[in-house]
Chains A and B, each alone.
Chain A
Amino acid sequence: MSNIKVDEKKFVVNLNNKFYTSEVIERGVKDFVDVAKITMNQKGEVTIKPKDKKNPEEIGYEFCDYLLSIIHGGDFA
Chain B
Amino acid sequence: MIEEESVLDNIEVHKNFAIISVNPKLYPLSVIYSASYWLLDKAHVIVDGDPDTEILIEIRPKVKGTDLKELGYKFNDELINYSVYTVQATRNKRIRELIVENALQGNLRNAPKEPVFQPKAQENDEDCVTCTPTNKESVLKTHEDPENIAGVRPARKTQEEFKPDLI
Q: Give A residues with C-beta under 8 Å from B.
A: 1-2, 13, 15-16, 18-20, 61-62, 64-65, 68-69, 71-73, 77
Residue B47 at the chain A interface, CB threshold 8 Å: yes
Name the one of B33, B51, B58 contacting A1, with C-beta atoms under 8 angstroms.
Answer: B58
- Give the dominant DSSP class at B's interface: strand
Name the one of B36, B44, B46, B48 contacting A72, with C-beta atoms under 8 angstroms.
Answer: B36
Q: Give B residues with C-beta under 8 Å from A.
A: 19, 29-30, 33-34, 36-37, 40, 44-51, 56, 58, 60
Shortest distance between the CB of A60 and any CB in chain B (Å): 9
Q: Looking across the interface, which residue of chain A has its beta carbon closest to that of B56?
A: A1
Inter-chain CA distance A71–B29, complex, in Å, is 11
Shortest distance between the CB of B19 and any CB in chain A (Å): 6
Tell me if B48 and A61 are in contact (CB < 8 A). no
Contact status of A61 and B44, CB under 8 A, knowing A1-B19, A19-B51, A77-B29? yes
Chain A residues within an 8 Å CB radius of B49 = 16
Q: Can you identify 8 A-B contacts, CB atoms within 8 angstroms?
A: A19-B47, A19-B51, A64-B44, A65-B40, A68-B47, A69-B37, A73-B37, A77-B29
